[in-house]
Structures are given as C-alpha cells and as structure tokens.
Amino acid sequence: MSIMFNDKNGSKRPGETGDYRDKIRAHRTKNVYRVLLGIVVVGIVALIVRIQYVNHVYTGYEVTASVERNSSYDSSDIRLGKSILTYSKDGAHCADSKGNVLWNQTYEIQDLKLATCGSIVGIASYNGRNIYVLNENEQMCRITTNMPIRDMCVAENGNSTVVIYDTNVTYLNTYNAAGEMIATGQTHMSNSGYPAAIGLSPNGKMLAVGYMYVDAGTVKTTIAFYNFGSVGDNYTDYLVSGFDYTDLIVPEVGFLSNNIAYAIGDDRIMFYSGDEQPTVKAEYMLDQEILSVFSGNGHLGVVFAANSEDNRYRMSVYNINGELQGDYYFDIDYTDIFFEKKDFVIYNESECLIRTYDGKDKFKGTFDISVNVMMPTDKAYCYVIADDKNIKTIQLN
C-alpha cells in the first residue's frame, strides 16, 4: 500500500499538477469530439432528409379544407395574387381561399379586356371609355377616357398605361394608382407607328412599347422604353432608349423584374437590361411558331409544338436574368402554367404536372373536380383548386 502525503503548505508533490492538467485537457478534447460528432450526425440526418425531400415524388393529395362557392356558367376564374378573380361581361369579384368575397365590381362590358400584374388587375372594354384598376383586396380607381380604349397594361404598384385611339392619332396615357395621369404621349401611324404591344415594369417606372409600322412595303418594329423617374425627366417625352427591327412583328412585351424586360417577336425573343436606360442583353432566334406565353415569379415560359412521339409540347423557360433555364417537354393539354421558386405547374381541368427546373417530375396526377383555377399557397406543395361549386385546399402526399 502506498500513501500520498501533502507537504506542509498543503501543495501536492511534484508531477501531480501536470497529471491533473493533462486530465482536464483530455476531458475537454473528448467533449469537443463529442460536439463535433453530434454536429456531423445532425448534418448527415439533415442531408438524408433533404435528399429524400428533393427526390420525393408525390402520387396523390388530400383535401385539407373545402368551402362552397357560387359561380355563374358564363364567368371565368383566374389567379390574382393569392386570391381568385371571377369575371364576366356583367361584373367581377375577388374571393380568398376560404370563399370570402373581398370586393365586387359591377359593369356592362361586351368586348372585355383584362390585364394583370401580380395582385393588380385592370378591366376595360375594347372601344369603351372606362378602366377599373383593382388589387386582390380593394378597388383602387376608375379611369374614364374621352376616346376609345384599344389596349392597356398594369404594374404591381397600381400604375396603368392605356392606349386610346383617335382618327389620326393614338395616345398613350399613364396613370398612377389613384387614377391621376402622370404622363401622356401621342403617336402617328405615318411616322412612329402603332403601339401593338405595351408593358409596365413592376414598380411602374418603366414603360416598354412595341411600335409597328410599314416602311417601303416592309414591316418594321421599334421597341421603345420610357422612364417616368428622375432620369426620364431629362429626355424628350421620357424616351430613354429604342431599338429597331426589320421584318419583325412583336405582339408582346413585358418585364421579368424592374431591370429585365423582354419582347417576343414572330421569329425571336429579345431581352433588355437596365432600370434607367435599357440596353440589349440577349436575343434568341426561333424556328417554330409560338403557341402560348406565360410569365410570373421572375420566369418566362414560351410553349411550342414538340417534334416528339412522346410529347405534344415543348416549353422554353427563361429565368429572371433573361437566360435560358431549360427546354421542357410535356404531353398534357394546359389551361394555365405558373412558376414557383423551384418548380413550375402545368394543369388543365382534370390533370396536373409539377416539374422542377432540373427536370424532375414531382407530381403527375388527376383532380377529383373539374378545375377552373389552381394557385399556390405559402406551404410547400399545398395548393388551392376551384371549380364552379367548391374551393378546396389540397396537400400533395
């Protein structure tokens, strides 16, 4: 048996302090290893869950909520923000996913024109005199013109631009969300051409116009950009840039963001960059006729017929930078296509296809109702679908 004694002042004998410190150091090292091991384990589990989530394919859905609604046979439904806009020749109303009517607008319109941007909608009649600008929550303003309306567009901030026609001149009037005119200009077919396409940036600052005219028997188009901000104040008629094209018809212009615009012609797609003075960013030549165009959430989708035995359609999708994100083939008819952050949704009244931008099908199935409109919610793979009698919230599983 051995006995350890302390010296007279109570300190331990030589060598004991070093052993104690070594034990503390070893204990601390062991704790560090345990923490690191725990972090690695948690990371591996998170990675496994992430991989399972990314690779998971949904095969069905469950209805998590359902409410009744009344919709007339001659009305139509579209998405407006996170609500459902129902419109006809006699009026329009907006309802949330629970069926609560947020507003109701009556009118009498025979040749109805509709323009949307995010949660903003403009409703007018071709050759009419009134424009109703509304968002999903309220009626914003009513604009009255003294000449026939031919076209219009709206911005997310509530601004609107209206093409009105007179015998020898066409006017482009831009209004703010209160219905006050903030800019006006006129064009003549003999020089500047006819405004065949118009589009406002989301913040309402930039206006893109596609003017079409005939010069020496050749159809030409000018894409013009107007800036209603401080920079545009320094230019005549707010015109900050323009681009000319020969043998090109451009039926659609628009914006993917405040600084990326696009123009879709019959043989090419052009992208422009800049929120003050746009310049040409990219141009993509087309060798097929365009069937449909869809845009939203920073994406542009252009649908063509597919030269494939397995698929009827091909959609080229461009991202918020005007870059081609990919070509996607599919074989279901579509009534609408909308874009989300990681995937896009194609659907008709009975079928739905959800595909990621890297080409993985997350869902391909059928509905139990005849769907008029489908829209996303804040929850992943949870959607609202509506027919004439019901609004249902569904969760894919």
C-alpha angle 100-106-110 in degrees, rounded to nearest 5:
125
Tell me the percentage of the chain whose pLDDT exceeds 70. Answer: 91
User: How many alpha carbons lie under 13 Å from residue 55 in its C-beta half-sphere?
Assistant: 6
Give the pLDDT confidence score for residue 4 in this predicted structure: 47
- Tell me if 31 is assigned to some domain: yes
- Tell me if 264 is assigned to some domain: no
- Tell me if 49 is assigned to some domain: yes
Q: Is pLDDT above 50 for 2?
A: no
Strand partners, 284: 269
- Tell me if 94 is assigned to some domain: no
Residue type present at position 358: D
- Cα distance between residue 152 and residue 147, in whole Å: 14
Q: What is the pLDDT of residues 194-226, one digit of tens each?
A: 999 999 999 999 999 999 999 888 999 999 999
In sequence order, which residues have a C-beta less than 8 Å from that of residue 343 and are 6 or more positions away?
A: 354, 355, 356, 357, 362
- Tell me if 298 is assigned to some domain: no
> Taking Cα atoms as reference points, which of 134, 138, 111 lies closest to residue 124?
111
- Tell me if 41 is assigned to some domain: yes
Q: What is the pLDDT of residues 351-372, one digit of tens each?
A: 999 999 999 999 999 999 999 9
Asked if residue 336 lies in contact with residue 373, where contact means CB atoms within 8 angstroms, the answer is yes
> Taking Cα atoms as reference points, which of 336, 332, 333 lies closest to residue 376?
336
3-state secondary structure of 232: helix
Domain enclosing residue 30, as ranges: 26-55
Name the pTM for this structure. 0.85
> Taking Cα atoms as reference points, which of 62, 75, 64, 60 lies closest to residue 387?
75
If one counts the domains in the chain, the total is 1
- Tell me if 360 is assigned to some domain: no
Kind and range of the H or E run holding 54: helix 16-55
> Any idea of the CA torsion for 151, 186, 146, 230, to the nearest 10 degrees?
90
User: How many alpha carbons lie under 13 Å from residue 393 in its C-beta half-sphere?
Assistant: 15
